[in-house]
Amino acid sequence: MNTLEIVVWAVMLGGLLTIGTMAVVDVVVSKSFTAWRNLVFMGVTGFSCVLLSGLPEDLFPGLPLVPVLILKASLGPLSGAMVLTYLGQWLGVSVEDRLVHHTIVLGSVMLVCAAVGITVLCTLFADTQSDEILLLAASVNALSVLLATLTAARAAQLGDKLARTMVVGCLFLAISMAGLYTHQLDHGNGNLSTWIVTSMATVLFYLVMVSLGISRNREIRRLEHLAGLSQGMDPATGLPRGSLLLSKVDDAFWRSARLNTTCTVICLHLRNLYALSEEAGHGVEQQILASMAARIRRAVGFRCVVGLYHPRCFVVVLSAAKANKSGMSLGERLCILMSQPLQVLGQQEGMHIFTPQFSSGTVTVTAASAIPVQVIDEAEQQALASEREQRGGPDTANSPPAMR
């Protein structure tokens, strides 16, 4: 292997390692089984490509012939089986198309059996039939790439937008495999342009696969988050509501009583939540609630219970770690902090200034047997009473039409 060829394959290896760090970061961030599966897939297929480049044999001339040939010939079909299985799970197309489902299942089994058979042939005939074995492995690998391309194309036809990019990735894979196996079979006698195109196609395939894997994992995490919201989390703020909020408040009461201390509940009532509905359009309330939730979290931290009792009433529970005096001062400070103006985006893409108007009520409990809904109701009534004192009468002007 001449110097230019070594440089080309070394650059390819560096590109694969660089892109592989993206998959490692995804594993660290998401800590999900899907991310680990993507990393294993990238590792196996990447190792197969590096072996087929011949770089390890040139850098380490003493490598044994039979094990290296086994890895070169068998990792290709195994990678093809992983590609099919990965595509079936990642795209979900096998659920919608029985033909593709059978293609994936039978194709994966066939490729694994072919890898086992090639391993046996390498063990028996590595010294005399190495080129023929590699040619057989190339044929099997070409079939796996074809099946993967057809699967991705079928998924794109069924409406999966990411599958369109996967088809392009499969084409890069086809160019990569053709160039790498040709390089092995002609014993490195190809020209420089062929090596460059092959290495570029390999790197581009891995870039596409890692990018798509990260995008799909983010989509799965978003769907899991939305599924969790339906079980008691408010979709606009991410705060607990309903029975989930009541259970968290009850837990805070229990912890405080166990430590023989009190627990303070603060209700913050946003009386003008719907003031911009006619001017900015319906839906602007979601932006306001999200901003208010962020302000509360920033003010009280993550150790306190924060929830949404209803769209105009935020609940803050100070557990046993907080003193009673801090409850009242924090309620006043929260009203001041959350009353700062903010900008919201209307339906017509126009910016509007919204100035929240808050009132607060505070209730302190000392027993674990306190009923959360009653305590919250009492704190809310105090907030409403404070609001009436500020406004000089009941608040109806800013209620939504359905509540008037």
Task: Check residue 233 and report its DSSP letter.
Answer: B
pLDDT band for 90, please (50, 70, 90 cuts): low
Alpha-carbon distance of 379 to 389, in angstroms, equals 15
pLDDT digits (tens, 9 = 90+) for 58-85: 777 777 878 888 888 888 888 888 877 7
State yes or no: pLDDT of 181 exceeds 60. yes
State yes or no: pLDDT of 101 exceeds 60. yes
- Are the CB atoms for 16 and 208 separated by under 8 Å? no
| pTM given for the model | 0.56
For residue 365, list its beta bridge partners: 263
Q: 403 or 79: which carries more pLDDT confidence?
A: 79
Please, what is the average pLDDT of the chain? 80
pLDDT at position 236, please?
A: 74
Q: What is the mean pLDDT of residues 262-277?
A: 87
Q: What is the mean pLDDT of residues 276-282?
A: 77
Question: For the ranges 90-94, 149-153, 270-274, 388-392, which has the lowest average pLDDT?
Answer: 90-94
Length of the chain: 404
State yes or no: pLDDT of 158 exceeds 80. no
Residue 256: burial class (beta carbons within 10 Å; 0-12, 13-18, 19+): buried
pLDDT digits (tens, 9 = 90+) for 345-401: 877 767 888 888 888 888 888 877 788 999 999 999 998 998 888 776 544 444 443
Residue 352 sits at φ, ψ, to 5 deg, of: -130, 145
pLDDT digits (tens, 9 = 90+) for 315-332: 999 875 444 444 456 777
